[in-house]
Structure 1
Amino acid sequence: MIIPENLTEFFYWVRERSENLWASEDWNKHEFYGAKWQPLTEPQIDEVEQRYGVKFNHEHREFLKILHAVDRKEIIEYDGENDEMIFEERTWFYNWLKDEQEIMERLHGLPDWFYSDVEGRNQVWLKSWGKKPESKEDREKIFQNWFSKIPQLLPIYGHRFVVGDDNLKWKPIISSWGSDIIVMGWDFRTYLLNEIRNHLDIYEDVFDEEDHMFYPEVLPEIQEIFNQNFKYDETKDVPYFKEMMLYWSSGWSSFGMEYHPKGTTVHPIVKTDIAEENN
């Protein structure tokens, strides 16, 4: 399988491959049967930027012009009370023309979401913030000063965000659950192969000798893209966010590093969460 390296060609490849899959009879009982992407025009993208006060980086803008959103909702199933099955519709990729409430909640809810990890159970306090003040008011000032400097995060799907700084060498898409942040892809190509792999038919069945069963695995050429994209590179950075990403061990794989490198017992990030009065 040849995966286009050119980003524009790749987006068209994704659109054709996913829509062909959704149109197949194998998907006739799936909520995405017959689904289509809904790209935006250049004037629409300009209007969205003005309407929301945002600025898309060039990769994100190209994504919006070719893909953007799908004309279907995702159906989530989960168990309710008394073993009752609950079905819930959720937006798959945000539609910037229709999903205003969800997008605004994501855009404007970020400060409170992150700050809840500072004052809540997780007690997050970054080393670069200095000693943790006893006063909540002082802690909030330090946090707000830090948050005012972070790159703009633009919602794309669920709790996934595009880092909107076009000056960065890499254009990462992150998954953020409050302060617990990982990179889903250091570019849109890797992100989409990662995020919508089940909609691109990029698996093969591999026999497991131990279990004596076949299990689906992404094709070798896809795995190689992942391996290369997440390989350690000192130029990979997300200004102000990198330290928070490395605060939790889950973020280290995003940068191609291990939280506990072999042969060491050093924790790369030292948490400074002790109030001044206890130092």
Structure 2
Amino acid sequence: MDYIGLINQMKTAGVRFADGLTKHEFDAIEQRFGFHFPPDLKQFLSLALPISDKFINWRDSSAQNTERIRERMNWCLEGMLTDVENNRFWMYEWGPKPADLAQAKNICEVEYHTAPRLIPIYAHRYIPETPSEAGNPILSVYQTDIIYYGENLYEYLLVEFGFKKYEEIEFDNIKRIRFWSDIIDSWEADYMI
């Protein structure tokens, strides 16, 4: 995949970039936030770091930016808990939904923490940390309204910045991601209680 060409295309679409992250910076970021970048995201961010609005500025280690990143990482759980409380979100795999709201939210939180961690990329688009290999799909996450937004990082960036239509995503070729793909499938099948 030609990330250099893609970066140049993104620049024409108005995306601003800084120099790519160094090995030392990757190590520090992964230690600070407790995750590992998938190899394709790491490759992309080592070439150039997008710093336009809605992107994560991984280089900025200020307290304010660190808190902003933590909020973006926790936003997915907060959205799920909101839907457990206010909507009908509940997965059959979790067993019967408890009548006690605190207990239901606790079960949701436990299940969430067994799922592959989602790493924010742009706005409410995320990439799963695991499996730790290239080609993980990009997820658009808004509470439990979760959809695929790209077969992989490269294809996602084409879609996000208008170089490929959303309708051209090859949904049949998207890698399944434990937990997250189940939620996507559940909406499609009205699988939730």
Higher relative contact order (CA 8 A, sep 6+): 2
Matched, 1:125 2:90: yes
Q: Tell me the residue number matched to 1:12.
A: 4
Q: Tell me the residue number matched to 2:50.
A: 69
**Cα deviations across residues 180-234 of structure 1 (Å, max 9, x unaligned)?**
001111211110100112xxxx4xxxxxxxxxxxxxxxxxxx56x974x52424x
Count of residue pairs brought into register by the alignment: 189
Distance (Å, rounded) in 2 between the aligned partners of 1:193 and 1:39:
19
Distance (Å, rounded) in 2 between the aligned partners of 1:45 and 1:169:
17
Q: Tell me the residue number matched to 2:158.
A: 193
Distance (Å, rounded) in 2 between the aligned partners of 1:153 and 1:37:
23
Q: CA deviation at 1:137?
A: 3.1
Alpha carbons 2:54, 2:122 under 8 Å: kept: yes
Q: Tell me the residue number matched to 2:108.
A: 143
Q: Tell me the residue number matched to 1:237.
A: 176
- Aligned-partner residue type, residue 19 of structure 2: Q
Question: Aligned pair in 2 of structure 1 residues 61, 226: CA closer, same or farther (>3 Å)?
Answer: farther
Matched, 1:102 2:68: yes
Question: Aligned pair in 2 of structure 1 residues 269, 17: CA closer, same or farther (>3 Å)?
Answer: closer
Match of 2:145 among 159, 172, 180: 180
Structure 1: 5+ residue stretches without partners: 1-5, 23-31, 73-90, 203-221, 250-267, 273-279
RMSD: 2.4
TM-score by structure 2 length? 0.85
- Aligned-partner residue type, residue 148 of structure 1: H
- Aligned-partner residue type, residue 13 of structure 1: G
Structure 2: 5+ residue stretches without partners: none
Distance (Å, rounded) in 1 between the aligned partners of 2:171 and 2:127:
20
Q: CA deviation at 1:37?
A: 4.0
- Aligned-partner residue type, residue 82 of structure 2: S
Q: Tell me the residue number matched to 1:78.
A: none
Q: CA deviation at 1:58?
A: 0.5
Q: CA deviation at 1:169?
A: 7.4
Distance (Å, rounded) in 2 between the aligned partners of 1:151 and 1:174:
12
Identity of aligned residues (%): 24
Q: Tell me the residue number matched to 1:271.
A: 192
Matched, 1:93 2:86: no
Matched, 1:54 2:35: yes
TM-score by structure 1 length? 0.61
Greater fraction helix: 2
Matched, 1:248 2:187: yes
